[in-house]
A and B are shown apart, each in its own frame.
Chain A
Amino acid sequence: MGLRGYLAKRLVYSIILVLAVITVNFLIFSMLPGDPMQQFVSSLRGRTTEERYEQLRHHFGFDRPLHERYLTSLVDMLTFNFGRDIISGDPVFNTMTGPLLNTLLLMGTAETICMIVGILVGVIAAYKRGGVLDTTLTTGSLVTYSVPIFFVGWIVILFFGVQLHWFPSGGTSPIEWARNPPTNILEVMAGRLTYIVLPALTLFLFVVGGWILLTRACVLETISEDYVLTARAKGLPERTILYKHILKNASLPLITNVALAFASLISGAIITETLFSYNGMGLLTWHAIYPVPNLPLLQAIFYISALLVIIGNFIADLLYGVLDPRVRYG
């Protein structure tokens, strides 16, 4: 079928998935019993006048029939018009841009370092299989993989934030910046960087174990293949074998994981961001649920997260298709 056909098929599928996600989004947020939005509006019933109540209902569109609301929601989502925030009245898009960038900064840094370190360490561990280094690394990865993330976060805060006072243990930027933000871009970057270190370290410790184990497993699978033996018999230097033969062939699941990791950027950081009060998408989601559910914001966050995952999956499929010829013709 060829690469183009394969990609076209995956693209169509992704678009269908996006539409399905929008539908599910609409179903969840409009049709669940105890719809938070309805509850919020109806909780105002006793507190505002009757006409204001009707106004609100009309404004949020609760008095329109279901299919009309669905179509409106469909069009809105596709055009990235997320409506207005309940609490602040700002367009949701504006509310989301700041935290989105913050999260991308945090998770991007953490994931990138994780990947680089994880892959390198995983390869070393696989190479020296059975040795002391391998066993310690594997056991260490297993432990960090299974320790709950808030524990890692607490220990990190305790150690670096409280005892050593190297880094602040919460927040996104220094408090003084609220009144007079610095204009020098380097100063801004340096200041923000100190607030990213601890959450990024927590995420890194939590995720790197998985990467090490995955890389190790993949490399071990290819290292016993026959062509590696042939390459060795040919007398190729070890490094060439490692990079050109082993890594290239073993890296398929790794690369798909890379794409998927970036895809789950937003949802993965909820606990870390709540723990560190870092003003990112995770904390935004949390604030959008308690104490009052902020429906348009929640819908938008869900949608963006799912969209990113779908895009990430598509990119993973793309890479897979380019790198592994078996897929295109399967």
Chain B
Amino acid sequence: MNQIRQSKRGLLGVTIIVFFVVVGIFAPLIAPYDPGTPYRDPGQYPGYGVNGPKIAEKLCYPSWYKILPWVYKGSIEKTESFRNTVINVGSQIFSNATDLLVDDRIAKPLKVTVLFPNESARDLVLGKEWTWDPVRLRLIKLDWRTAQRLPNGTRVEVNYLTGADMTDTMELVTDYKFSSNETFYSVWETQTSQPELVNVKYNSQGGFKNDGSVEIKYLGSNYISDGEVNATLLLPFKYSYWTPPMSFDTHFSVRVEASAATNVTITLWLRNEVLEKSFLTATYHVASQGEYISYVGVSSSNETMTNVGSYPERIIFPMPANMSFALSVNFPDKKSDVTVYIDNLQCILFGNSFGLLGTDNGSPYPPRDIFSTLVYGTRVSLAVGILAAVFSTVIGLFLGLTAGYVGGAVDETTMRFADLLMVLPTLPLFIVLIAVMKSTYGLVSMWNIIILLTFFGWMGFSRSVRSMVLSIRERPFIEAAKAAGGGKFYIITKHMIPNVFPLVYITLATAVPGAIITEASLSWLGLGDPSIPSWGKVLYDFNVSGIAVTKGLTEYWFWIFPPCIAIALLATAFILLGFALDEILNPRLRERR
């Protein structure tokens, strides 16, 4: 073992192997998420079900992409030209919609110029006669009575500020559990319409898990006041990116207690101060009952978000702005006492960057963190490689020893069987066998792959062992042992095996990379175990996602390169170790040094 340290290559190999083994053993500590269940905070967001929300959107870039110089960041002023813009004439809308939606991020135009085909250009004064509807991207004449159709060939030029950014994935509220009085009041603003009737306070009991909630108490009165009775929890935050998030989720849990059967209306909304608009995310009517109900208000798929088009996040977050996230409780029934408990209030903005290596396509939804998958994949690759190599070496050793020492018919049959297996094409055979296994049993497990690799991996080694046994068998000390009365088993174990062992070390060290690469190739073809994270499977997901066609290989290079480099490093490390062992243990090479 000391001799390995002398050889530089051996040392390098051993270092790399030890590194990967450590990563594999401590994988749950190193990887921030478990790739099998890529959810954040399971149990804290009951509206999503058992698991909680996904950790990020699919196909995210790594968090450190921001610092790369060629990634565009910041704002620019753009001029966009639209033909045949729509005039809103009362209820009639004339439109040529396909020309319009060039850029959905024109939230706040700086200047709008109308170019008529026959007259000269006229700057429209926004707000006086015309206004710009950012939702439907069209000019609207304020006074519909004087509206008219723009002549054919009219062009509208809009100057607006836009930009691009790598947006982070962020949870707006960290104290979603409402865990203490101080944190609640420091983060949230509360407003009530009738302070004397409606009381909002923090309650340390009564949360979804009895760990704190917000209590909104309405004392019913027979004096029916005009106007609405409501209470609002408001969270101001700053959205500081020039790109909208890819999606956003809102969530809350609510429990309503009342003396009589009644219900309350809860509204979630986001307000953009720059646009001076509030956008409803969801409205819920909650009946009074003893249990907590949890709701998820999702961005694009929520039908209650009307009038914001199919990409609401682009309308709500078009540019850096001060924003607020709010939950309003409205009490329609003004007569009864109602107590509303709110918990697990959260708004999550999913940006386009996340994690150390981004996220994948999420083909079994939801998207996984690539870095975590890589870390957990170390275990799989190491396990499969080492186990397959060890098993096949042991079998090869056993069969080679028996064939070589016993000789005769046993020798012939074993070697012919080995020849037969060596003649069959391995990769097509693997593919066929695995395809058959999949169709009968439904899935292929890691152990199936290990067994396959073992079954087709022992032949070469058994041949080497056999030839070595044949050459040792004729040596005098074996004859002496036989004369001393040693049986077959004794001679094999005490004399043959120690002489063969250098070969075992070397074969082990060179069989492992073969097994690792074969397993990676099988997973890359999609034939591996789909339930375990493996480096080859990461590449298979990449293939399946179609990114290579739609965006090209270079766009998501951080997805492909780390697994490939990891496979190459691990295999190279074992080969270096094998070479070092070969130099140490092979006597002929040693002489020449």
Contacts and interface: CB of A to CB of B under 8 A. Distances in A.
Interface string B413-446: 0001001101111111101110111011000000
B214 interface: no
A260 to B, nearest CB: 10
A202 interface: no
Contacts of B589: 220
A313 B422 CA distance: 11
A162 B517 CA distance: 26
A147 B564 contact: yes
Contacts of A149: 521
A118 interface: no
A154 B564 contact: yes
Given A17-B419, A17-B423, A36-B436, A142 B575 contact: yes
Given A148-B568, A162-B552, A285 B436 contact: no
B419 A151 contact: no
A20 interface: yes
Given A21-B420, A162-B553, A267 B439 contact: no
B16 to A, nearest CB: 11
Tell which of B428, B431, B439, B440 has the most Cβ of chain A within 10 Å: B428
A168 B517 CA distance: 27
Nearest to B514: A146
B579 interface: yes
B425 A305 contact: yes
B517 A146 contact: yes
Contact of B424 (A24, A142, A150, A270): A24
B586 to A, nearest CB: 10
A158 interface: yes
B101 interface: no
B427 A270 contact: yes
B432 A28 contact: yes
Contact of A154 (B423, B432, B560, B588): B560
A97 B191 CA distance: 80
B513 A146 contact: yes
Contacts of A16: 416
Given A39-B439, A158-B553, A267 B568 contact: no
Contacts of B178: none
A290 B433 CA distance: 12
Interface string A260-278: 0000101110110010000
Nearest to A21: B423
A53 interface: no
A157 B553 contact: yes
Interface in A154-171: 154, 157-158, 162
Contacts of B536: 148
A33 B440 contact: yes
Mostly, the A contact residues are: helix
Interface string B376-420: 000000000000000000000000000000000000000010011
A300 to B, nearest CB: 12
Contacts of A264: 425
B568 A24 contact: no
Contacts of A286: 431, 525
A164 to B, nearest CB: 13
Contacts of B517: 146, 148
Contacts of A158: 553-554
Contacts of A293: 432, 435
A286 B524 CA distance: 13
B194 to A, nearest CB: 66
Nearest to A281: B428
B432 A34 contact: no
Given A39-B439, A143-B568, A274 B420 contact: no
Contacts of B571: 146-148
A60 interface: no
A24 B554 contact: no
Interface in A1-22: 16-17, 20-21
A298 interface: yes
Nearest to A266: B425
Contacts of A219: none
B231 interface: no
A301 interface: yes
A33 B440 CA distance: 7
A157 B554 CA distance: 11
B428 A267 contact: yes
B539 interface: yes
Contact of B423 (A151, A301, A309): A309
B424 A306 contact: yes
Interface in A140-192: 142-143, 145-151, 154, 157-158, 162
A154 B568 CA distance: 14
B520 interface: yes
Interface string B560-571: 100010011001
Interface in B573-592: 574-576, 579, 588-589, 591-592
A142 B579 contact: yes
A302 B433 CA distance: 13
B283 interface: no
Nearest to A35: B436
B157 to A, nearest CB: 37
B558 to A, nearest CB: 14
A219 to B, nearest CB: 12
Interface in A25-73: 28, 32-36, 39
B425 A309 contact: yes
A67 to B, nearest CB: 21
Given A148-B521, A150-B539, A302 B428 contact: yes
A90 interface: no
A44 to B, nearest CB: 15
A270 B554 contact: no
B63 interface: no
A85 B579 CA distance: 47
A150 B440 CA distance: 29
A148 B564 contact: yes
Contact of B575 (A145, A266, A270): A145
A290 to B, nearest CB: 7
A36 B436 CA distance: 7
A151 B557 CA distance: 12
B442 to A, nearest CB: 10
15 contacts: A17-B416, A17-B420, A34-B436, A143-B568, A146-B568, A146-B571, A147-B572, A148-B564, A150-B524, A158-B553, A270-B431, A274-B525, A285-B431, A290-B435, A309-B425
Interface of A: 16-17, 20-21, 24, 28, 32-36, 39, 142-143, 145-151, 154, 157-158, 162, 220-221, 224, 264, 266-268, 270-271, 274, 285-286, 289-290, 293, 298, 301-302, 305-306, 309-310, 313
Given A147-B572, A220-B592, 8 more contacts: A24-B420, A33-B436, A143-B572, A147-B568, A148-B536, A162-B553, A267-B426, A289-B432
Q: Which 9 A-B pairs have the closest CB atoms?
A: A34-B440, A267-B425, A146-B571, A151-B564, A305-B425, A147-B568, A146-B572, A309-B423, A285-B428
